[in-house]
Amino acid sequence: MRATDVAVVGGGVIGLTAALALLQAGRSVQVLEANTLGSGSSHGNCGTITPSHATPLAAPGVIALALRWMLTPDAPLYVHPRLDPRLWGWLLRFALRCNARDWRSSALAKSALLNDSRERLQQWVADYGLECEFAQTGVDYIFRDERAFAAGQIELDLLRELGVRVEVVDGRTYEARDSAFKPGLAGAICFEHDAVLRPDRYVDALAKAVRGRGGVIVEHCRVQGLDRDGDACRLRSSQGELRAKDVVLALGAWSPQLSDAIGLPSLKRAIQPGKGYSITYDRPAQVPRRPVVLRERKVCVTAWDSGYRLGSTMEFSGYDDSLNPRRLAALERGAAEYLHAPVGPVERERWYGWRPMSSDDIPLIGRVPGRDGLWLSTGHGMMGVSMSVGSGQLLADLMLDRAPAIDPQPYRPERFA
């Protein structure tokens, strides 16, 4: 039987950053990935690093909006109408948090982790030589509708309180700054401290750093069960058994599927898969000078030296694995409303991925209650890449009984026990 100090189950950015932080602390680590590295939501997102996105999806008014959009299959936020008691229970818990008090509480927790991760990521890129097209570009929200522009500024006082640098720009001024946009913008909200990277290259760079420090990565290794065996855990997988003193479960949207095995059945209630889409192209001749979110259409646009991507949308349809052409087309239509060159000359990839959406929009990071040696890092929603380095370091500090840089209390899995 193989043996290691720590087995990390899940080879996305959350699992790989945890592995790297633990290796740096002197622990031996094996990463077990059921498919290929980054094959979940780590691969095809838009790669923005966004302390500006601290405010949660569960905001006042969101439920009414979602209900209006339920009959619009290409809406930015879409709940597929079906008989699914687990989904409707999750939506009820989500709806109960759509109030000002809980909205603020979730924003505070998200902001602490986002800000910590933003600073650590920049340092990790330098220290580990992570080649992932990281750039301190900033990210802008773009509006074409005056009322939407005004509504988008409601949360800015809270963001400023959380340390986010904000600039509000009128439409004509922004158009003069960036000729990629069609005339008629209402305005923009600019976040200078945000950044960007290319997520698939980030996964590759993290994996290289893990291997370079002695970590072992095993792909196509599906965990089938785990048991406590004396002072260690025994994992049964499609590639044999592994004995580990500690096990980190970084399964993202698949976390509910192993919830019974880890003794935390409440994960089935806590997390729903939120499906997102993207299309990747060769870079067009004219692109926005910074990553942007086209706010009315909820479309993110990112241009790297190596390519160009339209992404976003949030679809609650369970583990439906179809690539919905209507929702992909909505990305292109949305971009065409704002940009002179909305798509690239060559399409390279159409993609979907399931994000692990917790009902309070706060990750679950820490020890699995009542299970010695089992640790959890999941539920990062749409912020997995943005929160990855901070989450990896926080989990490593907790496992090594070191004082973490941020208060771990808001992320404790016990809140769903």
Residue 171: the pLDDT is 98
Q: 3-class DSSP state for residue 213?
A: coil
Residue 70: the pLDDT is 66
Q: Which homologous superfamily does the CATH classification assign to the domain defined by 4-416? A: FAD/NAD(P)-binding domain (3.50.50.60)
Using the structure block, give the residue that is written with the tokens 């640790």: 375
Q: Which residues contact 392 (CB under 8 A, 6 or more apart)?
A: 14, 16, 17, 18, 19, 20, 21, 377
- Residue 380: how many CB atoms within 10 A of its CB? 29
- Cα separation, 347 vs 325, in Å, equals 14
Using the structure block, give the residue that is written with the tokens 């479960």: 249
Q: What torsion, rounded to 10 degrees, do the Cα atoms 234, 237, 240, 241 define?
A: 0
Q: Which residue stretches of the chain have pLDDT < 50? A: none
Residue 378: the pLDDT is 97
Model pTM score: 0.96
- Cα separation, 125 vs 399, in Å, equals 24
Amino acid at site 169: V
Q: Which of 352, 333, 202 is nearest to 275 (CA)?
A: 352
Residues in the chain: 417
Beta-bridge partners for 256: none
| Contact by Cβ (8 Å): 4, 240 | no
Question: In this structure, what token pair is assigned to residue 187?
Answer: 């305005």
- Cα separation, 230 vs 89, in Å, equals 37
Residue 59: the pLDDT is 82
